[in-house]
Structure 1
Amino acid sequence: MPKFLDSLPMILSRSLDRVMPSYRRLFQANDLTDQQWRVLRALWEKQHLTSAQISQITLLPPPSLVGILDRLEKKNLIGRLRSTEDRRHVHIIPTQKGRALMEHMMPMVDRIHDDFMQRVTAAEWAEFNRILEKLSESTEKRNLA
């Protein structure tokens, strides 16, 4: 059995606790929570998504996502667009204000990301991602069995 500090949950938690403050300062300066950021970031990349898609991409449970979307809509950062093909489907889209926020924030996010990326080689980053993906996929397969 690994020592407590060497366990996977502690290694991941410790890493997240050290990486996230740089990002959180930026989120807080722009009146966003971590969860709101995740939703906006997904929308900026995809342009429009359903709530179910956002939940899957951001790993936010649907009940929590409802409130997050409501708050983002109240801030006029997102809008809801009913599908013309199937009125049961509602697409979430970034508003003009939401896209302006992207233009403002992404250069700073890129700088934070680049700072972390300078600490590892491209090969280390690829290996890190490969290992985490392998652990994630193998865990998901075991949970499905």
Structure 2
Amino acid sequence: MFDLANFLPYLLNRAGARLAIAWTHESRQLGVALQEWRVLAALLSHQPQRMSELAAMTTIDRTTLSRLVSRMEENGLVTRGRSGEDGREVQIELTENGVKVTNGLLPMASRYETTALEGFTPAEAKAFKQMLKRVFDNLDRL
């Protein structure tokens, strides 16, 4: 018999939806949507990034990402320029304001991770993250 409560896609979606709803509610006052946070966090980890790299890292399709980056550029969070390696490629970087906004959101992001992993030992949390990365990689085969 099918058990939805133990079906992995359902569990992943449920956890992700709960995080997204809470994040959206809390970050609304800060003016940074969840997808914008993903872009900011990805760029804080490594910049500049080509649009294709940023799309892969954030799992945002390139068309949506292009519109999102345009809005973020208008809001002074990122800049867009041509790659020195390949003039056809667009590179995205955080502005000083983008770095400031992202750093301001890090405590909230850390609190969300801490809350989500409450009750896990450090070893369990590490193993769980590794397993989620494997699940993500496995799903490339679909």
Q: How many Å separate the matches in 2 of 1:121 and 1:21? A: 26
**Contact 1:36 1:72 (C-alpha < 8 Å) held by counterparts:** yes
Following superposition, the deviation at residue 79 of structure 1 comes to 0.4
Higher alpha-carbon Rg: 1
The answer to whether the 8 A contact 1:44-1:102 is kept is yes
Amino acid at match of 1:120: F
For 1:138 and 1:83, the matched residues in 2 are separated by: 31
**Residues 20-29 or 50-59, more deviating:** 20-29
Contact 2:20 2:34 in 1 (8 A): no
Cα shift at 1:21: 3.4
One-letter amino acid matched to 1:64: T
CA contact (8 A) 1:27 1:37 kept: no
Within a 5 Å distance, the mapping from 1:37-56 to structure 2 comes to 37-56=37-56
Deviation of the 1:85 alpha carbon? 4.1
2:80 counterpart SS class? strand
Q: How does 1:1-12 map to 2 (within 5 A)?
A: 2-12=2-12
RMSD of the TM alignment (CA)?
2.0
Conserved 8 A contact 1:4-1:10:
yes
Contact 1:22 1:112 in 2 (8 A): no
Distance 2:94 2:17 in 1: 29
Alignment of 1:25-44 (within 5 A): 25-44=25-44
Report the AA paired with residue 100 of structure 1. K
In the comparison of the two structures, how many residue pairs are matched?
A: 142
- Stretches of structure 1 lacking an aligned partner (at least 5 in a row): none
Aligned-pair identity in percent equals 27
Q: For residue 110 of structure 2, what is the amino acid of its counterpart?
A: D
The amino acid that maps onto 1:59 is T
SS in 2 for 1:93: strand
Which 4+ runs in 1 deviate beyond 6 A? none
Q: Give the TM-score taking structure 2 as reference length.
A: 0.85
